[in-house]
């Protein structure tokens, strides 16, 4: 078999090239955008890529139950496809859909892994056996590109699957969508990136789907949009084209700042589904940019609308940074005035501007992802996320030379998004709490200094087998749990704001009466230190649960020990995230949500009561927020379930009576 051995002389390629749409099919129909819409995406080469496509992370299974048919899986390793970067973009070919949904999801995974410096893991599957829960490793996220006939797409945390729908476009569509034509969610770049992000965040933070405050679901949505938006900037042709078209002024209407163009049109909207920079005025048909309004967040309660404010704020930060970074280029190109002459801009200038935009967007993308490691494990608010962003950025870039942090704070202030628990809006006060010496001493008892910590650091890198990583993490969690329950550990728990002694009766305890603590994660995160050396840190998350009652009097009676706790109405969670430096054994930050906080409890009560818009659905099927907890409490769904909420996230919203 000389032929075979001969082939082995060639090294494997670095990447697999796959054709995809940078946006969605309609942009291929516009003469101006058709050339940039068709992009070639590079994903890491994998000798074991199977038909489906199926790889280590993803499995595309194309079953269309509404039509009762399957669509044959594409073989991307077929020489005929390898030679032409996969199938050409064809709306009518389901195999192209499989290829594209895979390529975009894989790209999104890539962004997360390079920002976090570790392989991502999907959330575990909880199974109940003889009353105890088991965490089952799930290696691959499943993707169903044609799962149902509806203008929707969602991540199903129970099936560990992305479900994409298809539907006939509205009869009143504008733009380039034909009335009644079939629109597919799985070939919208933005929708795929958005849903994949939901799944990745769920792997990191399964509690971020719980409606414990008004921001949680909004934040999930906002992050999914942000990742999709900043991913636009990673396609060089698209970027250059849009820079040229707007003459570098990205605050003008442009494709980079908009999401799901065809989807928006197909459901009868005037423009994109959502935009970070502006919107069409339906009465005049004219585009107008968003104006920051710090009051708006006070009256915006619906998750999408609230998430949109967060996205707008972060996009504003992007524009501030980008504008400051290109100021010199504009001066050079305009003989010092900074005002460009009318007409098209020079292609070289467009390239340079594109470069700056890509750098800025890339940094914000990385920062937004890294901030996830700096979030509390439960009950995050937009303010918390701002603090996480600032802290993450300070760790990444100690010297704020380009004023990224200032720009972010400025933009969030303009949109009225602040944390409630800081004295002022300086970067210093926004950075998370650094434990004092006394607390450090307690943590040292828990972690046993650098030597003790190192035992918890799993030994792996980006090439490690993900199931092995999962196993190692499980062992580290068990080890840490044991240490926490030792006498020394119980002292340290207080420093981490974990309640182990004299618990309120509403706090869930183990059979021996000690408050139950879940070591939610022990995961390493890598970053480059100030001198360019690679640093590995540990992110440790611990959580606790408490019975919550809608009636404050019931709560009081339970907490004062006057009555045995009846079945609760909801679960309140508390816990902490510790960022630990293994080389010193020091806890660098402690981000916590105290389980005993009455403020949080009250806030939650109000949200669960008032936060859901009345509808026929609520009349007959109940308040979905409360149902979420009820199902968990009654054991009819696993503790991390949230498929109803993900579905509802993507349903009609807004309230207001109109004429």
Partner 1 sequence: MPPSDPSQRIYPPERGVTVRMYATGFGDCFLLAFPGEDGNPRYVLIDCGVHDRYPKGRERLEAIARDIAEATNRHLHVVAVTHEHSDHLYGFMYGEEYFAECEIDELWLAWTEDPDHPVAQELTRLFGKRIQALKVALTRLQAAGNPYAERIALLFGFDLGANTARGMKGNKEILTFLREKSRNPLERPEDYKTPGRGPLEIPGVRGVKGYVLGPPEDVASIKRLDSQKETYLQPLTEETALISAILEAADVPLAGDSQEIQGYPFDATYSVSLEKAVEMDFFREMYGFSDEKGHGPRWRRIESDWLEEGVTQLALRVSGMVNNTSLVLAFALTDATPPKVLLFAGDAQVGNWLSWQKAAWEGMTGRDLIRQTVLYKVGHHGSANATLREKGLEMMESTELVAMLPVHQEWANKQGWHHPDEKVLARLLQRARGRVIRSDTIPDSDSLAPPDESREAEWEPFRKHLAWDKSPDKRWIQYTIEV
Within 130-169, which residues bind partner 1 (CB under 8 A)? 142, 144, 146-152, 156, 158-161, 163, 166-169
Q: Which position among 15, 34, 69, 583 is part of the footprint of partner 1 (CB under 8 A)?
A: 69
**Residue number, 69 or 514, with CB nearest to partner 1:** 69
**Residue number, 10 or 620, with CB nearest to partner 1:** 620
- Tokens for 57? 């992370």
**Residue number, 121 or 519, with CB nearest to partner 1:** 121
As measured in angstroms, the least distance from the Cβ of 318 to partner 1 is: 24
Residues 614-653 that bind partner 1 (CB under 8 A): 614-623, 647, 650-653
As measured in angstroms, the least distance from the Cβ of 173 to partner 1 is: 10
Q: Give the Cα separation of 293 and 58 in Å (integer).
A: 41
**Residue number, 440 or 613, with CB nearest to partner 1:** 613
Tell me the window of 68-76, 441-449, 504-512, 551-559 that interacts with partner 1 (CB under 8 A). Answer: 68-76
Q: Give the Cα separation of 262 and 168 in Å (integer).
A: 12
- Tokens for 118? 């570790």
- Tokens for 574? 């508390």
Residue with tokens 């707007």: 246
- Max Cα separation, the chain? 83
Q: Which position among 125, 474, 588, 603 is part of the footprint of partner 1 (CB under 8 A)?
A: 125
Q: Which of 431, 309, 411, 430 is nearest to 360 (CA)?
A: 411
**Residue number, 45 or 70, with CB nearest to partner 1:** 70
Residue 654 in contact with partner 1, rule: CB under 8 A: yes
Q: Which position among 5, 132, 424, 656 is part of the footprint of partner 1 (CB under 8 A)?
A: 656
Surface-to-core class of residue 490, CB atoms within 10 Å of its CB (0-12 exposed, 13-18 middle, 19+ buried):
middle
Tell me the window of 61-69, 102-110, 326-334, 539-547 that interacts with partner 1 (CB under 8 A). Answer: 61-69
- Tokens for 579? 């960022």
Site string for partner 1, 421-440 (x = CB under 8 A): --------------------
By residue count, the chain amounts to 659
Q: Which position among 52, 117, 257, 278 is part of the footprint of partner 1 (CB under 8 A)?
A: 52
Q: Which position among 23, 57, 71, 261 is part of the footprint of partner 1 (CB under 8 A)?
A: 71
**Residue number, 488 or 618, with CB nearest to partner 1:** 618
Surface-to-core class of residue 247, CB atoms within 10 Å of its CB (0-12 exposed, 13-18 middle, 19+ buried):
middle
**Residue number, 244 or 303, with CB nearest to partner 1:** 303
Q: Assess contact for 587 and 567: CB atoms under 8 A.
A: no
Q: Which position among 46, 93, 324, 406 is part of the footprint of partner 1 (CB under 8 A)?
A: 93
**Residue number, 53 or 117, with CB nearest to partner 1:** 53
**Residue number, 288 or 327, with CB nearest to partner 1:** 288
Residues 290-309 that bind partner 1 (CB under 8 A): 304
Q: Which position among 28, 33, 95, 262 is part of the footprint of partner 1 (CB under 8 A)?
A: 95
**Residue number, 270 or 508, with CB nearest to partner 1:** 270
Residue 129 in contact with partner 1, rule: CB under 8 A: no
Residue with tokens 């009644």: 180
Residue 94 in contact with partner 1, rule: CB under 8 A: yes
Q: Kindly give, in sequence order, each residue whose CB lies less than 8 Å from that of residue 196, ignoring residues fewer than 6 positions away.
A: 104, 105, 108, 109, 141, 162
Surface-to-core class of residue 650, CB atoms within 10 Å of its CB (0-12 exposed, 13-18 middle, 19+ buried):
buried
As measured in angstroms, the least distance from the Cβ of 618 to partner 1 is: 6
**Residue number, 38 or 627, with CB nearest to partner 1:** 627
CA 271 to each of CA 22, 250, 255, 259: distance values in angstroms, whole numbers, following the listed order: 17, 17, 11, 9
CA 319 to chain centre: 21
Residues 462-521 that bind partner 1 (CB under 8 A): none
E strands in 470-530: 518-528
As measured in angstroms, the least distance from the Cβ of 567 to partner 1 is: 15
Residues 579-598 that bind partner 1 (CB under 8 A): none
Q: Give the Cα separation of 597 and 59 in Å (integer).
A: 42
Residue 287 in contact with partner 1, rule: CB under 8 A: no
Q: What is the DSSP letter of 120?
A: -
As measured in angstroms, the least distance from the Cβ of 72 to partner 1 is: 5
Rg (CA), the chain: 25
As measured in angstroms, the least distance from the Cβ of 261 to partner 1 is: 15
Q: What is the DSSP letter of 421?
A: S
Q: Assess contact for 640 and 157: CB atoms under 8 A.
A: yes
**Residue number, 465 or 654, with CB nearest to partner 1:** 654
Compute the CA torsion angle 37, 42, 46, 48 (nearest 10 deg).
10
Residue with tokens 């009561």: 609
Residues 315-334 that bind partner 1 (CB under 8 A): none
Q: What secondary structure, in 3-state letters, does 207-267 show?
A: HHHCCCCCCHHHHHHHHHHHHHHHHHCCCHHHHHHHHHHCCCCCCCCCHHHEECHHHHHHC
Q: What is the DSSP letter of 605?
A: H
| DSSP line for 480-493 | HHHHHHSHHHHHHH
Tell me the window of 57-65, 238-246, 400-408, 478-486 that interacts with partner 1 (CB under 8 A). Answer: 57-65
Compute the CA torsion angle 363, 367, 370, 376 (nearest 10 deg).
180
Surface-to-core class of residue 264, CB atoms within 10 Å of its CB (0-12 exposed, 13-18 middle, 19+ buried):
buried
As measured in angstroms, the least distance from the Cβ of 416 to partner 1 is: 21
Whether omega before 188 lies within 30 degrees of 0, making that bond cis, reads: no
Residue 8 in contact with partner 1, rule: CB under 8 A: no
As measured in angstroms, the least distance from the Cβ of 645 to partner 1 is: 13
As measured in angstroms, the least distance from the Cβ of 641 to partner 1 is: 12
Q: What is the DSSP letter of 515?
A: B
**Residue number, 578 or 649, with CB nearest to partner 1:** 649
As measured in angstroms, the least distance from the Cβ of 462 to partner 1 is: 26
Q: Which position among 9, 14, 68, 401 is part of the footprint of partner 1 (CB under 8 A)?
A: 68
Site string for partner 1, 171-200 (x = CB under 8 A): x----------x-x----------------
As measured in angstroms, the least distance from the Cβ of 190 to partner 1 is: 13
**Residue number, 146 or 546, with CB nearest to partner 1:** 146
Residue 65 in contact with partner 1, rule: CB under 8 A: yes
Contacts with partner 1 by CB under 8 A: the residue count is: 71
Ramachandran region of residue 502, left (φ > 0), alpha (ψ -120 to 50) or beta?
left
- Tokens for 636? 């009819």
Q: Which position among 29, 38, 170, 434 is part of the footprint of partner 1 (CB under 8 A)?
A: 170
Q: Which of 563, 560, 592, 590 is nearest to 578 (CA)?
A: 590
**Residue number, 264 or 548, with CB nearest to partner 1:** 264
**Residue number, 94 or 585, with CB nearest to partner 1:** 94
Count of Cβ atoms closer than 10 Å to residue 21 Cβ: 24
**Residue number, 142 or 245, with CB nearest to partner 1:** 142
Residues 224-283 that bind partner 1 (CB under 8 A): 267-269, 273
């Amino acid at each position: 078999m000389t032929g075979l051995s001969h082939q082995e002389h060639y090294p494997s390629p670095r990447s697999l090239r796959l054709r995809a749409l940078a946006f969605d099919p309609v942009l291929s129909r516009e003469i101006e955008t058709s050339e940039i819409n068709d992009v070639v995406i590079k994903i890491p080469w994998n000798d074991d890529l199977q038909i489906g496509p199926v790889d280590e992370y993803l499995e595309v299974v194309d079953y269309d139950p509404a039509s009762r048919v399957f669509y044959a899986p594409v073989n991307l390793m077929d020489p005929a496809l390898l030679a032409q970067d996969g199938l050409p973009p064809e709306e009518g070919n389901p195999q192209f859909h499989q290829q594209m949904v895979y390529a975009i999801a894989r790209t999104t995974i890539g962004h997360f892994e390079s920002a976090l410096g570790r392989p991502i893991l999907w959330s575990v599957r909880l199974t109940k056996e003889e009353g105890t829960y088991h965490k089952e490793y799930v290696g691959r996220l499943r993707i169903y590109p044609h799962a149902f006939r509806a203008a929707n797409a969602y991540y199903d945390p129970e099936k560990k699957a992305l479900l994409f729908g298809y539907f006939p476009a509205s009869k009143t569509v504008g733009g380039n969508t034909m009335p009644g034509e079939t629109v597919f969610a799985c070939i919208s770049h933005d929708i795929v990136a958005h849903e994949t992000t939901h799944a990745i965040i769920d792997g990191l933070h399964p509690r971020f789907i719980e409606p414990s405050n008004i921001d949680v679901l909004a934040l999930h949505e906002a992050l999914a949009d942000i990742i999709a938006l900043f991913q636009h900037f990673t396609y060089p042709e698209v970027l250059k084209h849009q820079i040229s078209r707007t003459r570098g002024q990205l605050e003008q209407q442009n494709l980079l700042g908009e999401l799901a163009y065809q989807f928006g049109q197909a459901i009868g909207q005037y423009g994109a589904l959502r935009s970070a920079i502006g919107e069409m005025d339906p009465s005049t048909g004219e585009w107008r940019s968003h104006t920051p309004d710090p009051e708006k967040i006070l009256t915006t309660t619906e998750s999408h609308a609230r998430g949109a404010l967060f996205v707008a704020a972060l996009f504003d930060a992007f524009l501030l940074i980008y504008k400051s970074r290109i100021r010199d280029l504009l001066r050079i190109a305009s003989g010092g005035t900074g005002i460009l002459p009318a007409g098209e801009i020079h292609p070289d200038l467009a390239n340079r501007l594109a470069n700056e935009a890509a750098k800025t967007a890339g940094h914000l993308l990385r920062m937004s992802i890294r901030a996830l490691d700096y979030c509390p494990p439960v009950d995050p608010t937009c303010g918390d996320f701002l603090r996480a962003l600032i802290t993450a950025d300070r760790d990444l870039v100690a010297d704020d030379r380009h004023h990224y942090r200032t720009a972010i704070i400025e933009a969030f202030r303009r949109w009225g998004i602040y944390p409630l628990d800081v004295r002022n809006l300086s970067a210093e006060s926004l950075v998370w709490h650094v434990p004092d010496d006394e607390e450090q001493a307690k943590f040292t008892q828990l972690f046993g200094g650098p030597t003790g910590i190192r035992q918890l650091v799993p030994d792996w890198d980006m090439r490690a087998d993900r199931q092995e990583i999962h196993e190692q993490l499980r062992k580290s969690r068990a080890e840490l749990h044991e240490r926490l329950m030792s006498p020394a550990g119980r002292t340290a728990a207080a420093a981490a704001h974990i309640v182990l002694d004299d618990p309120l009766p509403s706090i869930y305890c183990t059979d021996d009466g000690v408050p139950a603590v879940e070591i939610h994660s022990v995961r390493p995160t890598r970053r480059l230190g100030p001198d360019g050396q690679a640093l590995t840190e540990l992110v440790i998350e611990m959580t606790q649960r408490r019975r919550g009652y809608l009636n404050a009097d019931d709560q009081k009676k339970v907490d004062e020990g006057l009555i045995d706790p009846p079945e609760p109405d909801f679960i309140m969670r508390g816990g902490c995230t510790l960022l630990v430096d293994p080389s010193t054994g020091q806890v660098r930050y402690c981000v916590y949500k105290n389980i005993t906080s009455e403020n949080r409890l009250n806030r939650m009560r109000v949200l669960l009561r008032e936060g859901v818009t009345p509808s026929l659905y609520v009349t007959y099927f109940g308040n979905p927020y409360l149902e979420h907890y009820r199902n968990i409490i009654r054991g009819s769904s696993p503790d991390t379930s949230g498929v109803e909420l993900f579905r509802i996230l993507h349903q009609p919203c807004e309230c207001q009576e109109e004429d």
